[in-house]
Amino acid sequence: MRKYFGTDGIRGRANGVITPELALKVGQAAGLVFQRGDHRHRVVIGKDTRLSGYMIETALVAGFTSVGMDVMLLGPMPTPAVAMLTPSMRADLGVMISASHNPFEDNGIKLFGPDGFKLNDDVERAIEALIDGELHKKLAGPRDLGRAKRIESAHARYIEFAKRTLPRNVTLDGLRVVVDCANGAAYRVAPETLWELGAEVIAIGVDPDGFNINHDVGSTAPAALAAKVRELRADIGIALDGDADRVLIVDEKGQSVDGDQLMAVVARSWKDDDRLTQPGIVATIMSNLGLERFLGGIGLGLARTAVGDRYVLEHMREHGYNLGGEQSGHIIMSDYATTGDGLVAALQLLSVVKRQERPVSEVCHCFDPLPQILKNVRYRSGTPLQQDAVVTAIAHGRERLGETGRVVIRPSGTEPVIRVMAEGDDRSLVTEVVDDIVDAVAKAAA
């Protein structure tokens, strides 16, 4: 168990869990862990648009410079842009200040190594040990302190990178695109990228004020996007989350398309083009059984991992896959990026739409998803999943669904919640199974 790091960096309430004191120590500890060799060390820092980003950014700068690292500040930038720019700018470390799809009251710190990949558990443990250690004994001397400066070219560099993920002969001419940037990190780069590629762009969720990130906009609240797509008769809607590492698509009818369907579209396209490095893709235990059956029908496999894009990516790297992701819209295309990139995933879909010259609703309907029910049970403390009544309820649910369905129970990695999910061909049976397990967990948690 790690004390500070969860499934996606360090995350919590701003000025509650994520305090200036913690950010200072994270900067010092991470800076010390990544000082390897006698060269001048440097770190790039990006952030989303939360008010607390100013506070955390300043504390991190103090931490890194106090151990002798130079800091390059990118300003509001998508998480995948930070991951891309870290090796591009020969930085020893990359930092993204964001709580992703959470409300503005939360914030977080994500770290990337010099290769642009998220840190593994061992490195995170090493950083935690230093955070709780005697950091004051390891500070740089007065002559060895770091410097900080803002990088003005970061946005243009990321836009060019995103455009280069499409073949040279592909443009978005003739497409009317509504893009919802969740009042978050991509509010500048996403609309500009789509426009430069030739699309007619209508942008919403591009007026951040420090408080409105993810508020009734973005991939977790697609109703506004769907309404705008229908109103303007657009060809497609693209919804990003607060740090733009995930995407949700809305078709021309205003219907949502999740990450499972998006992975199916890209998997089939890449298979036809002989671009898959393995005969399959990687997804998590939460991806719909319908996706697995669809892939099997076209000769591809589905490898499943624990929830979290870092675990998807670890499996991809270990076994040589170049496509994976999550139902929530984290799509990882390792030919281009070291983490989920919502904008790049949307561009890959748009290239398929242009090539097939079919509506998005047709392109993105690869399979009928099986009924899938997910409910959350909040608890205060303890281990309700280990209670005998809960264990029995879970076993009984799996027995009832048999081989035609699945039950997935997991504690959240970011909040005190147990997620109960089941899926199968019979919706009423799936609902009964979930409700029975939820009741057992709720009683144990009480």
Identify the segments of the chain with pLDDT beneath 50: none
Q: What's the CA gap between 59 and 361, in Å, rounded?
A: 46
256 is catalytic: no
Return the pLDDT at 76.
97
Comparing CA positions, the residue from 244, 209, 243, 202 lying closest to residue 225 is: 202
Return the pLDDT at 47.
98
Q: What's the CA gap between 128 and 23, in Å, rounded?
A: 12
Return the pLDDT at 1.
65
Give me the DSSP letters along 296-332.
Answer: HHTT-EEEEE-SSHHHHHHHHHHHT-SEEE-TTS-EE
Q: What's the CA gap between 438 and 374, in Å, rounded?
A: 10
CA distances, 421 to each of 324, 401, 410, 411 (Å):
21, 12, 9, 11
Catalytic residue, from 66, 100, 287, 351: name it.
Answer: 100
Comparing CA positions, the residue from 119, 109, 124, 122 lying closest to residue 50 is: 109
Q: What's the CA gap between 33 and 45, in Å, rounded?
A: 17
Joined together, the tokens standing for residue 426 give: 């019979």
Return the pLDDT at 310.
85
Residues in the chain: 446
In 144-183, where does DSSP find H-type helix? 154-163
Residue 256's beta-bridge partner residues?
250
Beta strand pairing status for 280-284 and 323-325? parallel
Run of H or E residues at 72: strand 70-76
Mean pLDDT of the chain: 95
